[in-house]
């Protein structure tokens, strides 16, 4: 689907460009915040899987404190954003934690979020596995970075065994909610876990080298985890706002808008460079 057809079909995609957001995902964080008031009084914030940076844009606008620090981490390079330190790193790599802590001078974070999504291969089981690993890595980083009482938000896909993840999260946070912002397509399994009130388990140390396994780690350190939990589900954002699955007539969409931030390292970059040098025929 080309740029202009997306402009016509997806109002959030177009609205993001009109309002200067680098991606339509900005509305998801804004709608989560309007429901849960997550972005008040923050000093140290970590945005995992942050490129192209619309969540970091929201964070830099909302976190106004002069001493505040926002760290954005992604595999991809990110164009700079005022007030945000960007780190090109893999969230599954053990050294990423110490790189973030160095930026915070060893102080804990108030808020960690992750909107991580792997490149889809089309092999459903593999894609699901990599997505699960990303969520676990984000959670491991969150448990190692957050101060007691801090919050964690992450994108999930509501698949098999998600109730087991809610149970495990329920042992680490006072309140766990599954939230679906209005701007997240109703037809997609995407949702966000909103975990508030981090309560580190006494004696439990996150082990970054040894990833959390379903049914592992927390029970193996003295917790019984027999019951699966159903987290409350909340649809958030103004329900009279645009429905991301609906079609609206939009006269303005006749003009296609340029992206707010062109991709820094697009997969087609090599081909464009080769064509420019005359090494590739049209």
Position 136 contacts ligand SAM (CB under 6 A): no
Binding part of the chain for ligand SAM, among 37-45, 69-77, 186-194, 241-249 by CB under 6 A, reads: 69-77
* Interatomic CA distance for residues 29 and 54, integer angstroms: 9
Q: Kindly name the residue from 6, 155, 175, 269 that is annotated as catalytic.
A: 155
Binding part of the chain for ligand SAM, among 49-57, 199-207, 210-218, 246-254 by CB under 6 A, reads: 49-57
Contact pattern from residue 23 through residue 42 relative to ligand SAM, giving x for each residue in contact according to CB under 6 A and a dash for the rest: x-xx----------------
Tokens representing residue 190 in the block: 């995407």
Q: Nearer to ligand SAM by C-beta: 200 or 263?
A: 263
Annotation says 95 is catalytic: no
Candidate list 39, 42, 46, 49; residue touching ligand SAM; CB under 6 A: 49
Q: Nearer to ligand SAM by C-beta: 154 or 167?
A: 154
Distance of closest approach, residue 38 Cβ to ligand SAM, in angstroms:
14
Candidate list 31, 86, 92, 131; residue touching ligand SAM; CB under 6 A: 92
* Interatomic CA distance for residues 88 and 76, integer angstroms: 6
Q: Nearer to ligand SAM by C-beta: 7 or 167?
A: 7
Q: Nearer to ligand SAM by C-beta: 136 or 176?
A: 136
**Contact positions toward ligand SAM, by CB under 6 A?**
22-23, 25-26, 49-55, 73-76, 90-92, 115-118, 134
By annotation, the residues acting in catalysis are 155
């Amino acid at each position: 689907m080309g740029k202009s057809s997306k402009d016509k079909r997806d109002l959030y995609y177009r609205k993001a460009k009109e309002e200067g957001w680098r991606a339509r995902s900005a509305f998801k964080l804004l709608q989560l915040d309007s429901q849960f008031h997550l972005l008040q009084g923050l000093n140290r914030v970590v945005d995992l899987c942050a490129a192209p940076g619309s969540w970091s844009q929201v964070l830099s606008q909302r976190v106004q404190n002069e001493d505040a620090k926002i760290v954005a981490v992604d595999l991809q390079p990110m164009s700079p954003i005022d007030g945000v330190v960007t780190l090109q790193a893999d969230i599954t790599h053990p050294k990423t934690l110490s790189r973030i802590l160095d930026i915070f001078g060893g102080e804990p974070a108030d808020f960690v979020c992750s909107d991580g999504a792997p490149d889809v291969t089309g092999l459903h089981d593999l894609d699901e596995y990599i997505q699960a690993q990303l969520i676990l890595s984000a959670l491991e980083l969150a448990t190692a970075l957050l101060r007691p009482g801090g919050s964690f938000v992450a994108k999930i896909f509501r698949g098999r065994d998600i109730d087991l993840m809610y149970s495990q999260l329920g042992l680490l946070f006072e309140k766990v909610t599954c939230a679906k912002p209005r701007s997240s397509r109703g037809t997609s399994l995407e949702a966000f876990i909103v975990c508030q009130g981090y309560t580190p388990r006494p004696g439990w140390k996150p082990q970054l080298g040894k990833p959390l396994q379903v049914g592992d780690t927390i029970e193996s350190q003295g917790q019984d985890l027999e019951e699966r939990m159903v987290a409350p589900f909340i649809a958030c954002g103004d329900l009279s706002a645009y429905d991301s699955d609906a079609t609206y007539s939009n006269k303005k969409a006749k003009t296609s808008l340029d992206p707010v931030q062109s991709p820094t390292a697009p997969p087609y970059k090599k081909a464009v460079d080769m064509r420019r040098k005359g090494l590739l025929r049209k």
